[in-house]
């Protein structure tokens, strides 16, 4: 009987101490996991996911820009930092122009630049600003009247739409004249309509240039005919044309290759043809480039040949700017307009050299950080929130792209966690140069382990974070085990009592039998 009681007490003590041992084991395992947490940089070969589960990715504004300079853009545009020059190579490629640039429009990345800040004359590229101010401040349906002053101080050799004094024409048709056939007199008509005089309009042009951050630009007229005080830079032209290209109405005027102006009170119908031979074969087919669209040509003897144009193919879209191109003679004795040839060369360089590369995938597992106080698990899978692609040279080295993970608090998280909850950031790096960043989010939700109600726990039984300590922390294990232990002990006691009764009964039967034998003997 005494042995049974001792065994019962020993079993009860072991059962009650089991949660404590579990607690020590769990905390020890947590410390071991924290020490052995892998590096946050994940090699490319560990980031692959099932291609069938991947969502289609599209280019987004990348977190970097190219050599040699970062594009300065108007307020509201992203200003990505520079990449080192070897990431955007331009060796063995040269443009025959005083200054030039090739910008990838989706990422706002200059992939080729030559004399970006050289002061030069814009010629009729000026009309981009004139057109945009007309769209900003005018009504396309308004009817304008050509004044005598609008026809003053114009070169007889300059481009024109043949407008005459007293002619009435809508602003819409006037802008076709300006952007398609480069009508100089039309710019003066617009200036007087918007600001009352050409001088006041020129002031507005300079104010707008300042607002756009075009620090190397000064306008002296609305059309671009030569003036020593009328100048700009390729960098500023990139800002201006990028701003204008986002306006759908501007794109309509800038990409029209042929247009018929209805008859006016002074003229019959006018058929206009674009001066940009990259985009049309109506006037010249030697320079046609099927991928090109818009924007504006320009030429004066001091400025040389100028052209801003765009071209797109697949997920790439480029803006080309060339200024100061010469007019050469080919082997047949014909003129070669180098602004069209060099622009086409720039576009082909861009399409042949660059491509978009996916550097972050929202289906690739990036890590399994530990989660404290989780119900039924110790870790959670984390991944990038977004699919991100960036512009890189086609000859980039995939093994040089690595991922860097940074957690908001530490690599040990704490339940509860929601599905898709941000826990940090992941940055794609190319040779340690940041390319793109996305939020690091959880793949699944994680519930917190159950806890005792606050009113049933005294203050000395709580940690500094308000969680129960000791056995109270594991009450959901302790209480059932305690009940089982008590039940087991009761069963042992009942069994002991029954055994004791059986022994007493056997003893009484032996004594009774002994008395009967003695009576028989007597």
Angle at 273 between CA 269 and CA 276, to 5 degrees: 160
- Return the half-sphere exposure (C-beta side, CA atoms, 13 A cut-off) of residue 143: 7
Percent of the chain with pLDDT over 70: 75
pLDDT per residue over 243-278, tens digit each? 999 999 999 999 999 999 999 999 999 999 999 999
Over 90: is that where the pLDDT of 30 sits? no
On whether the CB atoms of residues 417 and 446 are closer than 8 A, the answer is: yes
SS3 assignment for 57-86: CCCCCCCCECCCCCCCCCCCCCCCCECCHH
Averaged confidence pLDDT in the chain: 81
Map tokens 């996916």 to a residue. Answer: 358
Q: According to the model, what pLDDT value does residue 513 have?
A: 74
Q: According to the model, what pLDDT value does residue 205 have?
A: 98
Q: According to the model, what pLDDT value does residue 475 have?
A: 54
pLDDT per residue over 150-171, tens digit each? 999 898 889 999 999 999 999 9
58 or 418, which is more confident?
Answer: 418
Over 50: is that where the pLDDT of 517 sits? yes
Residues in the chain: 522
- The full set of domains in the chain, from first to last, is 1-36+453-522 (no CATH), 37-57+361-449 (2.60.410.10), 85-355 (3.40.710.10)
């Amino acid at each position: 009987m005494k042995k049974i009681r001792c065994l019962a007490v020993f079993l009860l003590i072991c059962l009650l101490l089991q949660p404590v041992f579990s607690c020590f084991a769990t905390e020890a395992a947590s410390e071991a996991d924290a020490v052995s947490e892998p590096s946050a940089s994940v090699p490319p070969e560990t980031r692959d996911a099932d291609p069938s589960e991947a969502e289609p990715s599209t280019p987004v504004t990348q977190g970097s820009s190219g050599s040699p300079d970062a594009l300065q853009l108007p307020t509201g545009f992203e200003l990505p930092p520079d990449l080192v020059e070897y990431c955007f190579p331009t060796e063995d490629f040269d443009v025959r122009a005083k200054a030039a640039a090739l910008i990838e429009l989706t990422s706002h990345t200059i992939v080729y630049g030559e004399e970006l800040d050289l002061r030069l004359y814009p010629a009729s590229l000026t009309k981009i600003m004139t057109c945009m101010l007309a769209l900003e401040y005018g009504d396309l349906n308004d009817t304008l009247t050509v004044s005598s002053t609008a026809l003053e101080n114009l070169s007889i050799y300059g481009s024109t739409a043949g407008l005459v004094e007293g002619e009435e024409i809508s602003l819409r048709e006037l802008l076709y004249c300006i952007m398609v056939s480069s009508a100089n007199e039309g710019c003066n008509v617009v200036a007087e309509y918007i600001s009352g005089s050409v001088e006041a309009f020129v002031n507005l042009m300079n104010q707008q240039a300042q607002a756009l951050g075009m620090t190397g630009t000064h306008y002296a007229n609305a059309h671009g005919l030569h003036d020593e005080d009328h100048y700009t830079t390729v960098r500023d032209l990139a800002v201006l044309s990028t701003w204008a290209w986002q306006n759908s109405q501007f794109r309509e005027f800038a990409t029209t290759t042929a247009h018929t102006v209805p008859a006016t009170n002074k003229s019959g119908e006018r058929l206009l043809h674009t001066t940009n031979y990259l985009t049309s074969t109506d006037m010249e087919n030697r320079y046609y480039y099927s991928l090109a669209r818009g924007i504006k040509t320009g030429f004066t003897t001091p400025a040389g040949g100028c052209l801003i144009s765009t071209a797109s193919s697949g997920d790439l879209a480029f803006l080309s700017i060339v200024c100061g191109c010469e007019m050469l003679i080919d082997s047949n004795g014909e003129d070669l307009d180098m602004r069209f040839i060099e622009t086409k060369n720039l576009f082909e360089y861009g399409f042949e050299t660059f491509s978009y590369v996916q550097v972050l995938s929202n289906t690739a597992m990036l890590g399994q950080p530990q989660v404290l106080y989780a119900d039924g698990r110790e870790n959670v899978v984390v991944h990038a929130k977004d699919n991100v692609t960036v512009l890189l040279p086609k000859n980039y080295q995939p093994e040089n792209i690595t991922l860097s993970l940074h957690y908001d608090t530490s690599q040990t998280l704490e339940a509860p966690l929601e599905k898709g909850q941000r826990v940090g950031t992941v940055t794609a790096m190319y040779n340690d140069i940041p390319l793109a960043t996305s939020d690091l989010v959880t793949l699944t939700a994680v519930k917190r382990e159950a806890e005792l109600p606050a009113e049933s726990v005294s203050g000395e039984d709580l940690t500094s974070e308000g969680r129960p300590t000791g056995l109270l922390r594991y009450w959901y294990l302790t209480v059932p085990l305690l009940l089982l232990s008590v039940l087991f002990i009761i069963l042992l006691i009942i069994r002991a009592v029954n055994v004791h009764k059986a022994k007493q009964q056997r003893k009484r039967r032996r004594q009774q039998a002994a008395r009967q034998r003695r009576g028989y003997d007597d």
